[in-house]
């Protein structure tokens, strides 16, 4: 940092190759790039040297557990840009680095060809080549060393005609052998390794279903249990979900317990908010007795797995005033001058049933360790997916430390960040390692807004670290758009969430029953929210959209194009009420084109599908098969007509294939 | 780099503020940002914390010679972006860093206001505030400490009515005082200092005139001298230039000396190329005896200065075979197996009069030191401007070390990089510290090409490190466009060079005499190039454009808008043969609009000048005064008509002012 730095000598000034920029990268290489298992990492670098010498560029990489680095040649794309890619075959952290050196043998060889071709005198050139071969021989094992030495002798041999010696120098076998033992003493290396975090496939492709177990008792008025949830599993699986997400399942505090509809007073029968964690029965490592015991929990877990459902737990790092931590670790909390513990507030709003940790406390290390132990506790009990509540109210440094630590030992876990907060903080949490994040999708309700937002999400650098999870509703958010909509609006939001993003979820059964009643119309709180009371749902109430959900999840499962997000490409369409976008699997084997009517009325337009970009021969007709209605059309290059009546389906979900008439 | 890194604890996990991105920056902060003396550096940073607490953000900076850091408050622009700016008042390197902390007092104060405003109970709040004031008192000197303590006592005083204590807490004098002693124990600091290189004003604004002294003898056939150049000074000054750039002035080698028109054979009278440096009379620290001695050189230097001209020397780090270095330091060169020294080549091209240094040699440190001593030698002799020949054929690491080293002791020097090479290398040399660089301007000959190229040059990140110097010709380059053009073409290129870029130069008198004869038509070598022979110029030959050059340089000197490059803004015009662009000084006190006809025939069009962007009230008419022809027009908002006949002037150079009728 000091001025003297400017004058310091490089460690070895003989290194001439410059490696100046490596992509992808995030914030000056401060954070890892994120990929999922089985994805390919494509690395680009700017590499060049002074002068006219030829350079050799390699990518080296290593999974954290590998003892050795692997090396790949990088190929030149032109304009001094080099590229290589490799498949990520293990979970966890990888490091990669670019190395490059001047290849004097290749430089010599090319010069030799040019000079010989121009009829120049090549005697001295042959002797230079022979010296380079001798040097290569010193780096080579036998029998290669011997062969190189023999070749060198031939190049130098004055009793051979010069033309014959020239032919030796042009021998491709010689060239290949000599190139295998390059002089790498002056190789340059990129200043720091680029780190990659490889998450499990579920981080990239997942369909979440959120429910409150306590509302699913068979008979009204009783507190539902894990056992009650068992009977839901076949149906949730039939809907096509693969993650069953439960709000906090821990004992709920009684002091300042919230009543129905977020009332600050509660009666003896009120069940409280599951996010007011901790009571005399325990805290974050205990189960609410009313939900059942460990046996019931493990049975739910095991049975869910049989239905292809993984259970996700909600981790909310906060306490009720009754949490054992408050008594046992007063140093982790902030205390007011009247001796009371500081509750959560955002003046003038107060959340007296919630006590935040004081992350500025002197005992921060023991606090961090205890919070980590919560995750480890549930990982030990088979939980692999966590939805983390309000991570933006805890320090970023804590998350970065925690997730790196957890991922080092348990790279198979998935963490969903519930950070409905400002954009930079939302993104920073993803940089710190969260596998997925909630988004602003919920409030993007026009084609133009979605196009702009999704373009940001799927462009660098965001695409390199942030995996969106699209939720049309949550227990906290019944958006105005749904309140004002109808069944078709729910379908529209479902299709958008499930096809724009490969990760999505719904809070059920409020979503599939198209529940639209807000506590205060226009505000986002549900009326009679399950957050504060038991509900009893009629899951078969008329007007539900379960069949449509099942169909869409089935399409997601059978179409690889919908199993990633960054392959999104918007298509032009001449009606601003319509949104058109396409996705293809990386091999172009599966191509989907979606057209969504975001208006309440029938709309039509001409959509322009760039067939060639998706490997489809645009000179021939191609077939589009609407997977929602099972109807097919033959399209031709250029613009094609669509019309969407929300009363039927608010969208087309076309599977595009080259038309092959019999 | 190891996996263990991922799990490491932060040094202090209590620091909650995140400083995540600082602009401007170049390649992960690897290189300094460049500015000129007197310019303002605007720094932006992304800064935020978890939760709802208020943060304080500061920019601290220090010139390398300053013992102390200075601190500036940064202001929030919204979206967690913060900004501050400061004027660069000293040459050389600056460092700047962003620091931020949570301000618990301000957080408390705002909460207090909200709670008191909402009529809540404030007794405990006042006690919390009193504790914060007591803590501030411990950080404050007297008498402030005493005052803060007294205020704290008032807030706590149970015998005062609560309303009165509330009024104390709202006292702005208290607030201001308490805020002056923030608790910075948990402040966060950006991980590395951003470095800024402040160059002299001439790095930003300069007009170069290049000539070969040996061609300026009063009588034909004689080798010109520095003394001959003395008589040119008044005229070059009258043309309005401020840098007089001389090709290498050193002894020229005789072995493999080039003859006229780059012939590989030379006769006894041939003078050789000035770039074949070194003979028995000396090398890079000697003067060619035929040009005169030290006394003549210093007289030229001194007299040039009196005419406002600074002499720039050409530094070409290469040797003729006769350079003393070749004999004295054989280790700095590459030797061929036949015992000869390796000459420069780019197969099959050979440059046997030029011996490159071997930058991969084991003795690289002594080589670097000697090369540095060449610059120091000329700096000692009063030279401040260097044009560096072919820097792209020497290692980038060498330049980075050399320039940082030279700049640390001599921040007043200016280095122009002659790197006609691939874009990434050209830019990398600028990152390594060159003050200015040659560009591709010479070959951008349509409005669309110039618009695209200049947009790249004046956008981040290029604008932060690269200062273009535009040359319509050089001794090596008589572009095809000029060969095929006429006097008006030369005028057009002059105007473009001198108004698009604040740094420009011409190789004279070939340029102002509109010399168009190539050695091989269509190739760029001048016929009878001064590089290889003496010329005798008639500087008053008919058709010269000296009056026009003088006018344009005068306009550059009197209009601040033309004294920088990054203020360029292209304007829309409805004729693709015309290029329109505007520049304004940063205070909008000087506004220039240029319209250039890049076709050989008269062209007209409607140009759209965005008056409001330049501080001009577009609801009123404004005046445009063509500085080339001294004609004025009154324009109104929107599009205005222009017509340009190259036979008269190929451009308008409008000075735009608000029209104020009497």
pLDDT for B99-146, tens place per residue?
Answer: 999 999 999 999 999 999 988 889 999 999 999 999 999 999 999 999
How far is the C-alpha of A264 from the C-alpha of A259, rounded, in Å? 6
pLDDT band at A24 (very low <50, low <70, confident <90, very high): very high
Are B220 and B433 in contact, with CB atoms under 8 Å apart?
Answer: no
pLDDT at B510: 98
Contact assignment for A193 to B3 by CB distance below 8 Å: no
ipTM here: 0.93
pLDDT, residue A7, reads 57
- What's the pLDDT band for A2 if we cut at 50, 70, 90? very low
| DSSP secondary structure letters along A7-50 | HPPPS-TT--EEEEEEES-STTTTS-EEEETTPEEEEEEEEEES
Find, among A52, A167, A44, the residue nearest to A106 by Cα: A52
Chain B residues in contact with A122 by the CB 8 A cut-off are none
pLDDT reported for residue B470: 98
**Is A586 in CB contact (< 8 Å) with chain B?**
no
Under the banding of pLDDT at 50, 70 and 90, the label for residue A273 is: very high
- Of the two residues A163 and A233, the one the predictor is more confident about is A233
Out of A9, A27, A347, name the one closest to residue B111 (CB). A347
pLDDT of residue A392 exceeding 60: yes
Say whether B405 and A25 touch across the interface (CB within 8 A). no
- Chosen for mutation from B24, B50, B62, B118 (greatest number of chain A CBs closer than 10 Å) is B50
Tell me the C-alpha distance between A18 and A16, whole Å: 6
Chain B residue closest in CA terms to A428: B20
Task: Give me the mean pLDDT over the A258-270 stretch.
Answer: 94
pLDDT given for residue B662 in this prediction:
54
pLDDT at site A388: 98
Q: What is the pLDDT of residue B6?
A: 47
| Cα of A218 to nearest chain B Cα, Å | 40
More confident residue, B174 or B662: B174
Q: What is the pLDDT of residue B661?
A: 61
| CA gap A614, A611 in Å, rounded | 5
Q: What is the pLDDT of residue A5?
A: 43
Of A7, A50, A120, the CB nearest to B348: A120
Alpha-carbon separation of residue B141 from A411, B144, B152, B155, B181 (angstroms): 53, 6, 16, 21, 9
pLDDT exceeds 80 at position B192: no
Of B3, B93, B423, the CB nearest to A64: B3
CB of B368 less than 8 A from some CB of A: yes
If you average pLDDT over residues A577-588, what whole number do you get? Answer: 96
Give me the percent of chain A exceeding a pLDDT of 70: 98
CB nearest B13 (choices: A25, A115, A364): A364
For A185-221, the pLDDT digits (tens) are 999 999 878 899 999 999 999 999 999 999 999 999 9
pLDDT value at position A637? 84
Residues 6+ apart with CB under 8 A from A64: A92, A93, A94, A95, A408, B2, B3
Distance, CA of B549 to CA of B512 (rounded, Å): 8
Q: Which chain A residue lies closest to B92 (C-alpha atoms)? A: A3
Return residues 155-174 of B near A (CB < 8 Å): none
Cβ pair B401:A360 closer than 8 A: no
What is the distance in angstroms between the Cα of B48 and the nearest Cα belonging to chain A? Answer: 7
Query: What residues of chain B, 45 to 84, have a C-beta less than 8 Å from chain A?
Result: 46, 48-52, 64-65, 79-80
Structure confidence by residue, pLDDT tens digits, A28-48 = 888 999 999 999 999 999 999
CA-nearest residue of chain B to A101?
A: B360
* Closest alpha carbon within chain A to B80: A424
- How close does chain B come to A232, measured CA to CA in Å? 37
Rounded Cα gap, residues B159 and A422, in angstroms: 44
Judged by a CB distance cut-off of 8 A, whether residue B339 touches chain A is no
Assess whether pLDDT exceeds 60 at residue A295: yes
Q: Show which residues of A are catalytic.
A: 389, 418
Q: Do B10 and A397 count as a contact with CB atoms less than 8 A apart? A: yes
CB contact under 8 A, A20 and B27: yes
* Residue of chain A whose Cα is closest to the Cα of B401: A7
Residues of chain A with C-beta less than 8 angstroms from the C-beta of B57:
none
pLDDT at position B4: 39
Nearest to B365 among A13, A20, A48 (CB): A13
What confidence category does residue B191 fall into, taking pLDDT thresholds of 50, 70 and 90?
Answer: confident
The residue-averaged pLDDT of B420-436 equals 97
Q: What mean pLDDT is reported for chain A? A: 95
B119–A contact, CB cutoff 8 A:
no
Between chains, do A20 and B392 touch, taking CB under 8 Å as contact?
no
Q: Do B337 and A27 touch (CB under 8 A)?
A: no
Chain B partners of A20 at a C-beta cutoff of 8 Å? 27, 424, 428
pLDDT computed for residue A662 by the predictor? 55
* pTM of the full structure: 0.94
User: Is pLDDT at B5 greater than 80 in this prediction?
Assistant: no
* 3-state SS, one letter per residue, for A423-461: HHHHHHHHHCCCCEEECCHHHCCCHHHHHHHHHHHCCCC
The nearest alpha carbon in chain B to A109 belongs to B347
The answer to whether the CB atoms of A395 and B3 lie below 8 A apart is no
Work out the minimum CA distance from A508 to partner chain B, whole angstroms: 29
Range in A516-525, B49-58, B111-120 with the lowest mean pLDDT: B111-120
Give the per-residue pLDDT at B44.
Answer: 97
Residue A251 tokens, joined: 């004992």
Strands B194-199 and B92-102: antiparallel
What distance in Å separates the CA atoms of residue B567 and residue A610, rounded to the nearest whole number? 39
Residue B29: left (phi > 0), alpha (psi -120 to 50), or beta?
Answer: left
Helix B123-139 and helix B144-156: axis angle, to 10°? 170
Strand partners, B592: B583, B655
Kindly report, residue by residue over A625-641, the tens digit of the pLDDT: 999 999 999 998 889 99
């Amino acid at each position: 940092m000091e001025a003297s730095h400017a004058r310091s000598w490089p460690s070895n000034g003989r290194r001439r190759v410059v490696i100046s920029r490596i992509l992808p990268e995030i914030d000056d290489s401060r954070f890892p790039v994120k990929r999922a298992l089985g994805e390919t990492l494509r690395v680009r670098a700017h590499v060049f040297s002074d002068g006219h010498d030829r350079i050799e560029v390699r990518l080296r990489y290593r999974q954290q557990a590998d003892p050795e680095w692997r090396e790949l040649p990088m190929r030149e794309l032109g304009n001094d840009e080099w590229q290589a890619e490799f498949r990520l075959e293990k979970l966890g952290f990888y490091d990669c680095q670019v190395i490059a050196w001047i290849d004097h043998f290749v430089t010599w060889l090319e010069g030799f060809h040019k000079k010989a071709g121009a009829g120049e005198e090549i005697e001295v050139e042959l002797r230079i080549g022979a010296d380079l071969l001798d040097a290569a021989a010193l780096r080579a094992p036998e029998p290669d060393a011997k062969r190189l030495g023999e070749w060198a002798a031939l190049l130098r041999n004055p009793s051979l005609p010069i033309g014959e010696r020239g032919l030796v120098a042009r021998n491709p076998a010689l060239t290949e052998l000599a190139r295998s033992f390059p002089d790498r003493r002056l190789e340059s290396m990129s200043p720091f390794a680029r780190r990659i975090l490889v998450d499990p496939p579920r981080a990239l492709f997942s369909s979440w279903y959120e429910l409150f177990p306590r509302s699913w008792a068979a008979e009204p008025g009783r507190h539902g249990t894990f056992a009650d949830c068992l009977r839901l599993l076949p149906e949730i699986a039939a809907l096509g979900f693969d993650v069953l997400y439960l709000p906090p399942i821990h004992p709920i505090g009684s002091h300042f317990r919230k009543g129905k509809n977020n009332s600050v007073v509660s009666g003896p029968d009120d069940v409280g908010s599951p996010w007011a964690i901790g009571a005399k029965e325990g805290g974050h490592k205990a189960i609410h007795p009313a939900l059942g015991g460990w046996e019931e929990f493990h049975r739910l877990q095991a049975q869910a797995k049989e239905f292809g459902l993984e259970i996700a737990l909600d981790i909310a790092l906060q306490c009720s005033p009754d949490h054992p931590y408050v008594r046992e670790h007063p140093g982790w909390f902030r205390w007011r001058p009247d001796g009371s513990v500081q509750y959560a507030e955002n003046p003038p709003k107060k959340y007296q049933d919630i006590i935040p940790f004081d992350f500025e406390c002197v005992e921060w290390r023991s606090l961090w360790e205890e919070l980590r132990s919560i995750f480890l506790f549930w990982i030990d009990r088979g939980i692999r997916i966590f939805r983390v509540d309000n991570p933006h109210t805890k320090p970023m440094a804590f998350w970065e430390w925690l997730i790196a630590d957890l991922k080092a030992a348990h790279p198979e876990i998935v963490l969903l960040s519930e950070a409905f907060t400002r954009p930079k903080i939302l993104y920073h949490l993803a940089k710190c390692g969260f596998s997925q994040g909630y988004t602003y999708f919920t409030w993007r309700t026009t084609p133009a807004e979605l196009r702009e937002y999704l373009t940001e999400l799927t462009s660098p650098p965001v695409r390199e670290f942030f995996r969106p999870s699209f939720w049309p509703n949550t227990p906290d958010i019944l958006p105005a758009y749904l309140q004002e909509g109808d069944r078709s609006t729910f379908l529209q939001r479902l299709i958008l969430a499930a096809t724009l993003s490969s990760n999505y979820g719904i809070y059920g059964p409020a979503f599939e029953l198209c529940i639209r009643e807000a506590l205060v119309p226009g505000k986002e709180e549900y009326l009679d929210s399950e957050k504060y009371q038991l509900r009893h749902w009629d899951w078969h109430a008329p007007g539900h959209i379960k069949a449509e959900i099942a169909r869409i999840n089935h399409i997601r499962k059978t179409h690889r194009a919908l199993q990633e997000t960054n392959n999104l490409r918007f298509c032009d369409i001449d009606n601003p009420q319509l949104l058109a976008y396409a996705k293809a699997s990386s091999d172009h084997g599966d191509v989907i084109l979606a057209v969504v009517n975001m208006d309440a009325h029938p709309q039509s337009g001409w959509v322009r599908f760039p067939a060639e970009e998706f490997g489809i021969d645009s000179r021939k007709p191609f077939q589009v098969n609407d997977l929602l209605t099972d109807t097919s059309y033959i399209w031709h290059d250029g613009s094609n007509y669509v019309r969407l009546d929300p009363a039927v389906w608010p969208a087309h979900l076309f599977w595009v294939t080259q038309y092959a008439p019999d």
